[in-house]
Structure 1
Amino acid sequence: MKTFKLENEPKIKSGFKTPENYFDDFSEKVLQQLNEKEVKVIPFYKRKKTLWTAAAAVVGFALLIPVINNYRANSTDLDEATLENYLSYHSNISQYDLIQKLDDSDIEKLGNDVTLEDETLEDILATSPNIEHLISEQN
């Protein structure tokens, strides 16, 4: 690699030049320009409009928060009775469709043993017209 010597290389001249005596009266020119600028005054009545608008926006949002919370709470919650009625009256849903939709937590809940008294079991079997169907589902 070739050695580079800064002192021996030709210098590039800058394309910018300052006029003569430019910095002698520079501070005076700047001070004159600063004194000529006018300060913009905002009248108080215009400021009142922005304050009233901001206050109205805050009150509006404060009134909308309970309405939005109530809407979200009512729209997402299903009670158990509604869900049970829907499933019982729609006969096109089979038990296999329901099994496919269960997740792990639902399966764990179903795994808990449900104890039935003998009398309750006898009443269910006595009042059910399709005992054969109930027995075949258990197997």
Structure 2
Amino acid sequence: MKKTNKNSGFKVPEHYFEGVTHKILERIPPTSGSSNAKAFPKDEGFKVPEGYFENLNKKILERSDKREIKVVQLHPYRKIYYTATAVAAGLLLFFGLRLSLEKPPTFSDLASQDIENYFQINELDMSSYEIAEMFPIDQLEINDVLNDQIQDAAILDYLDNNTDDLEELNLNYNE
């Protein structure tokens, strides 16, 4: 490592500051006299009357107004309460109106798969035959049980393709 240089690089000649004040006073031009002391004024030009600062506090207090000042109480929490109340009322209206506009689900909204899942999960201890006995068959139509409408042509096509003997069907054409 390099050694730290103790010299800063700035040098002043020897005895440089010994005659500085004398040299400065020589450069100031003399005014009306031969002495340099006359070039500077003896007082600064700013004067304060005697005893000025002794009675200053009393004078200031006498001149100041002694009337009572009205104090206005600030209620910073009032704005917060109003804001919180407005937000709560807005949320109450939003959710209240939203809930009142929703219609309750009806039986027709439920899918048949949902109904089957309900019966399987809740274990009613009833078989599908026992459940079928609870519904009156006289009032049911086949389209009530099925999701899609069955066309007569589709039924006839199915019977033509999947039955070997038409007499097995025991069809009554009078109905």
**Please, what TM-score do these two structures have when normalized by structure 1?**
0.30
TM-score for the superposition, normalised by structure 2: 0.26
Who wins on radius of gyration, i.e. which is larger? Answer: 2
Higher helix share: 1
